[in-house]
């Protein structure tokens, strides 16, 4: 019988948490070998624009896949850089070895390693790890915590109740299509503050109670699986722009609470 979150016993939960941390340690070591290396080469995966991949992306994902092959051979793998491996157990590990490769290339510390465990209902355990800063945000299976230079802290989203007092983030000023850009602008015009370019670290800040909203378009499943699990464990909400499950259209809104989520959804819809 396939495994899902409802059938996991205490030993299974402990094993998944242990493996998620092991994977983060493995990816941390691999990515830091390359970070701020002189003249790190990048290949462009995009036919238009710039979507880079580096040796660091591939090395980190390959190292995580080796671990999973040994310790979770029946689980599936969905990663950014290599072909997916089907699940025989009902569980799938979702890996983004470097979310924010553009930032990685530029030497900024706002990229991260994303690791999630999902069943048929979606991700239920997630890790956002920032190796250079040494911060690890983990959420799911009864956990919602940040381990970093200041020790271990609980994750909890903010209770900001008005968009006029909210801090909004997005990775790019150019959000998706013309219609998506216009929809984002409607929310941004009402927010107290809009900031750009943080990649997965913006989702970590939302889970930690530092900001209130992240709105993006054009995301892939490996971009949002771990942030969704971490934010939901911290008390937040992650949906598409229609309020449904994050899906194939790549639209994502992450909100600290239901009040802000509802306000932002109305503006995204044109209200």
Q: Write down the domain spans for the chain.
A: 5-154, 163-268
What local confidence, expressed as pLDDT, does residue 47 receive? 58
* Rounded-to-5 percentages of helix, strand, coil across the chain: 35, 25, 35
Sort 197 into a burial class: Cβ within 10 Å, 0-12 / 13-18 / 19+.
Answer: middle
* Token pair belonging to 173: 């000023």
CA 174 to centroid of chain Cα atoms? 19
Q: Which CATH number fits the domain 163-268, given the four candidates 3.60.21.10, 3.40.190.80, 3.40.50.360, 3.40.50.2000? A: 3.40.190.80
What local confidence, expressed as pLDDT, does residue 45 receive? 66
Residues 138-143: contacts with CB within 8 Å, 24+ apart? 138/17, 138/20, 138/21, 138/230, 139/207, 139/229, 139/230, 139/231, 139/232, 139/233, 139/234, 140/229, 140/230, 140/232, 140/233, 141/8, 141/13, 141/16, 141/17, 142/13, 143/17, 143/233
CB 75 within 8 Å of CB 91: yes
Q: What is the mean pLDDT of each run of 10 residues along the chain (271 residues)?
A: 90 98 98 89 66 86 98 97 96 97 92 97 98 98 96 97 97 88 97 96 98 96 98 98 93 98 97 70
What local confidence, expressed as pLDDT, does residue 50 receive? 57
What local confidence, expressed as pLDDT, does residue 52 receive? 74
CB 238 within 8 Å of CB 254: yes
pTM of the model: 0.95
| 164/161 Cα distance (integer angstroms) | 9
Provide the CATH topology of domain 5-154: Fructose-1,6-Bisphosphatase; Chain A, domain 1 (3.30.540)
């Amino acid at each position: 019988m396939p495994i899902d979150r409802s059938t996991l016993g205490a030993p299974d939960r402990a094993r998944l948490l242990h493996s998620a941390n092991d994977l983060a340690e493995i990816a941390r070591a691999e990515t830091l070998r390359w970070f701020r290396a002189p003249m790190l080469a990048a290949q462009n995966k995009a036919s238009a624009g710039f979507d880079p991949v580096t040796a660091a992306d591939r090395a980190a994902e390959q190292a995580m896949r080796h671990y999973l092959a040994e310790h979770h051979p029946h689980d599936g793998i969905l990663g950014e850089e290599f072909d997916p491996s089907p699940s025989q157990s009902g569980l799938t590990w979702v890996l983004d070895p470097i979310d924010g490769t553009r930032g990685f290339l530029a030497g900024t510390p706002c990229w991260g390693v994303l690791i999630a465990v999902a069943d048929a209902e979606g991700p239920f355990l997630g890790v956002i790890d920032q190796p250079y800063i040494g911060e690890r945000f983990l959420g799911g299976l009864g956990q919602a915590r940040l381990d970093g230079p200041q020790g271990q802290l609980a994750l909890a989203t903010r209770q900001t109740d008005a968009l006029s007092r909210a801090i909004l983030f997005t990775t790019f000023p150019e959000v998706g299509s013309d219609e998506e850009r216009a929809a984002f602008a409607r929310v941004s015009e009402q927010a107290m503050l809009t900031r750009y370019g943080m990649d997965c670290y913006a989702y970590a800040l939302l889970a930690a109670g530092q900001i209130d909203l992240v709105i993006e378009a054009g995301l892939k499943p490996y971009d949002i699986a771990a942030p969704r699990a971490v934010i939901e464990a911290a008390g937040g909400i992650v949906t598409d722009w229609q309020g449904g499950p994050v899906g194939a259209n790549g639209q994502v809104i992450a909100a600290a609470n239901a009040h802000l989520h509802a306000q932002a959804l109305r503006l995204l819809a044109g209200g």
